[in-house]
Amino acid sequence: MDHLRTRCSIDLAPPADWRREARISCRCEHCLALGRFLQSANQEVWRFKAREADRRHVEESIRRVHHDVDCSIERKGSPHVLVCTKNQASYERRVAQRRADLDDLTRLGA
């Protein structure tokens, strides 16, 4: 119960800008560019035009750490473009967790 109360007392607010956490272990030039995109407060979309192996590598870096980024491939021209768009997935998970915690507290009679 104390754990739930503590978690429910933490402030919950959506991100103030487009800056996202950039935990990237790879130091290749493409992942460094991804890191700059993630740390940018005003850049919502990043277009990475590269060969397939490089696009897959960057996509895997995003997936491995669960960055708040949606990816799609734009198949016009060659090479294709990996379009990375920041989202609010972490915030939305915290909102869902808060709802579940509040429901749990109610069921437990707190």
Question: Over the stretch 86-103, which tens digit does the pLDDT of each residue have?
Answer: 999 999 999 999 999 999
State how many domains the chain has.
1
Q: Are 12 and 94 in contact (CB under 8 A)?
A: yes
Name the residue range of residue 88's domain: 2-107
Question: Over the stretch 27-72, which tens digit does the pLDDT of each residue have?
Answer: 999 999 999 999 999 999 999 999 999 999 999 999 999 999 999 9
The two structure tokens encoding residue 91: 């915030």
Q: What CA–CA distance (Å, rounded) separates 81 from 2? A: 48
Compute how many other C-beta atoms are within 10 angstroms of the C-beta atom of residue 31: 19
